[in-house]
Structure formats: structure tokens, C-alpha cells
């Protein structure tokens, strides 16, 4: 009877260890991806996000040129892709650093556009007969610039999630690591059993199940968030996380099988 109870407790501890290690690995994946500003910036870069936003700004501004009566080159060099990149990266940093605020500085765009307009008027011997109309045009252009590079709505949403859960994730990782270590010690030295074979196999199968479930129920190509540039970025991050899950399930299934074989071989040698 005692032996049966001990076996039941052993498998319960193995199940608990499997859940603990699964949670630990899942939180680590989250920590090194969505909770890492450098990772997010890297994905922005890989996805040509900054360049695509630059093209979107150019396209939107061009729509108002005909109405304004100014030539196309009035928009020449009023912003650079590097300036766009810096502004977006500052917004990303603001999500992870509570001491920073989300700000978009369009003053440089405004000053350069004003200078281009003045140069155009002077070179063509024209006078600004309707300064209010020119001011409205400049305001339209700076608004387009701010709106196109602004991910403020997303920042506000993500900022709330990150702000509330960032510490919890860090605490969770440490807590699950400690609990996992305690369970391994108990199984290994009190129950005198192999502690990791079953958890490794369970973790591999759980991640495999998650991948199969997501592939069956989520169509990545139909993800549409904010705009086409942001949607493409989200798809890129989603696919990268899925690739990490795939690598994890393969690695842990192999580890589980190898660990089981090694443990059984050593057990046979001890019995000889």
C-alpha cells in the first residue's frame, strides 16, 4: 500500500514538475521576445518597418501637393529615414522604461518644410498672399508625419500590459526556477527516481500540441492590426515565436528520449 502511494506521489510530482518547467520555459520565451525592447527593434529592422513608414509618409504627403499648388520637390529632404527610426525607437523604449515619455518631434519637419516653401517663393519671385493657407498646409504635412510614425494607440495598449506584467514575468521566472529545482531534488534524492525524462517528454508534447492547435485555428495571413506595416511586423514576430516553439518541442522530445534511454541503461548496469 505504501509503495502504491509512493508511486502515485512520484507521478504527481513529475506532473507538477512538467507544468512548472513548461511555465518557466514559456515565460523565458516571452521575456526574450515581447518583453525585450532590443528584440522588438530588431524585428522592426528586419521587417523594413522604418523604410515602409517613410514610403507611407511620402505617399500621404504627395496626395496634398496637387491641392496646395506647390511642386513635388517642396517636400524634398524635410525628413530622413534615420529620423523616423529614432522617433519610433524612442516610442518602443518608452514602453519598457517608465521614466521615458512617448513624444514625437515634428519641429524639424516643420522648419525644413517652411524653409523649402520660402526658398520656392523667393526663387519664383512670389509672395505669400495667404499665409494662413500655407500654415494650414504645413500643419497638414506635420500631422501626416506624426500620424504615420505614431504607434501611440498600440503603445498605450501594450504599455498597460507590459507595465502590469513585466515584474510578474520576472518574478514568475525566478519562482518557477526555484520550485522546479526543489521538485527535482525531491524526486531525485527522496524518491530515488529519474526526475527529468517525463517532464522533458511532456514539455515537448505540450509545445507540439500548441503549435498544431495554433496552425489549425489561427490564420496568420489574416492578421490585421493598425495598418499594413504594423500587421506585417506582428506576423513576423508571431512566426518567430512559433519557430522558437518548434525548436523547443524538438529539443525536449529528443532530450526526453535520450534521458530515458540513458537512465534505463544505467539502471540495468546497477542491477547486474
Interatomic CA distance for residues 79 and 73, integer angstroms:
13
Average pLDDT on 12-36 reads: 94
Q: Give the pTM.
A: 0.81
pLDDT score of 269:
60
Q: Would you give the DSSP letter of residue 99? A: T
pLDDT score of 88:
86
pLDDT score of 71:
87
User: Sorting pLDDT into bands at 50, 70 and 90, what band is 2?
Assistant: confident
Residue 1 has pLDDT above 70, yes or no: no
User: Sorting pLDDT into bands at 50, 70 and 90, what band is 166?
Assistant: confident
Residue percentage of the chain with pLDDT more than 70: 90
Average pLDDT on 241-253 reads: 94
The three three-digit cell numbers of residue 168, written as one number = 510578474
CA dihedral sign of residues 88, 93, 98, 101: negative
Residue 212 has pLDDT above 90, yes or no: yes
Average pLDDT on 126-132 reads: 73
Tell me the three-class secondary structure of 32-62, residue by residue: HCCCCHHHHHHHHHHCCHHHHHHHHHHHHHH
177-199 pLDDT tens trace: 999 999 999 999 988 888 899 99
pLDDT averaged over every residue in the chain: 86
197-231 core/surface letters (b: 16 or more CB in 10 A; e: else): bbbbbbbbbbbbebbeeeeeeeeeeeeeeeeebbe
104-108, 226-230, 241-245: the lowest-pLDDT one:
226-230
pLDDT score of 102:
67
13-17, 24-28, 64-68: the lowest-pLDDT one:
64-68
User: Sorting pLDDT into bands at 50, 70 and 90, what band is 253?
Assistant: very high
Where are the chain's structural domains? 2-32+166-271, 42-150
Interatomic CA distance for residues 40 and 46, integer angstroms:
10
pLDDT score of 213:
92
Amino acid at each position: 500500500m505504501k509503495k502504491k502511494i509512493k508511486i502515485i506521489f512520484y507521478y504527481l510530482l513529475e506532473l507538477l514538475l512538467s507544468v512548472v518547467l513548461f511555465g518557466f520555459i514559456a515565460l523565458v520565451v516571452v521575456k526574450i521576445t515581447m518583453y525585450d525592447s532590443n528584440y522588438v527593434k530588431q524585428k522592426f529592422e528586419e521587417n523594413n518597418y522604418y523604410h515602409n513608414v517613410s514610403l507611407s509618409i511620402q505617399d500621404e504627403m504627395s496626395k496634398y501637393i496637387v491641392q496646395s499648388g506647390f511642386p513635388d520637390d517642396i517636400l524634398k529632404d524635410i525628413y530622413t529615414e534615420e529620423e523616423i527610426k529614432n522617433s519610433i525607437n524612442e516610442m518602443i523604449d518608452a514602453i519598457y522604461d517608465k521614466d521615458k515619455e512617448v513624444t514625437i518631434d515634428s519641429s524639424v519637419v516643420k522648419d525644413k518644410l517652411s524653409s523649402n516653401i520660402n526658398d520656392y517663393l523667393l526663387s519664383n519671385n512670389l509672395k505669400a498672399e495667404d499665409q494662413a493657407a500655407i500654415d494650414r498646409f504645413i500643419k497638414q504635412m506635420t500631422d501626416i508625419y506624426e500620424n504615420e510614425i505614431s504607434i501611440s494607440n498600440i503603445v498605450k495598449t501594450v504599455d498597460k500590459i507590459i507595465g502590469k506584467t513585466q515584474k510578474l514575468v520576472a518574478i514568475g521566472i525566478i519562482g518557477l526556477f526555484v520550485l522546479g529545482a526543489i521538485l527535482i531534488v525531491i524526486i531525485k534524492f527522496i524518491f530515488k527516481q529519474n526526475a527529468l525524462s517525463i517532464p522533458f517528454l511532456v514539455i515537448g508534447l505540450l509545445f507540439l500540441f500548441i503549435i498544431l492547435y495554433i496552425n489549425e485555428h489561427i490564420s496568420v495571413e489574416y492578421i490585421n492590426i493598425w495598418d499594413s506595416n504594423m500587421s506585417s511586423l506582428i506576423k513576423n514576430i508571431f512566426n518567430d515565436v512559433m519557430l522558437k516553439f518548434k525548436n523547443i518541442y524538438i529539443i525536449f522530445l529528443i532530450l526526453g528520449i535520450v534521458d530515458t534511454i540513458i537512465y534505463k541503461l544505467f539502471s540495468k548496469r546497477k542491477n547486474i
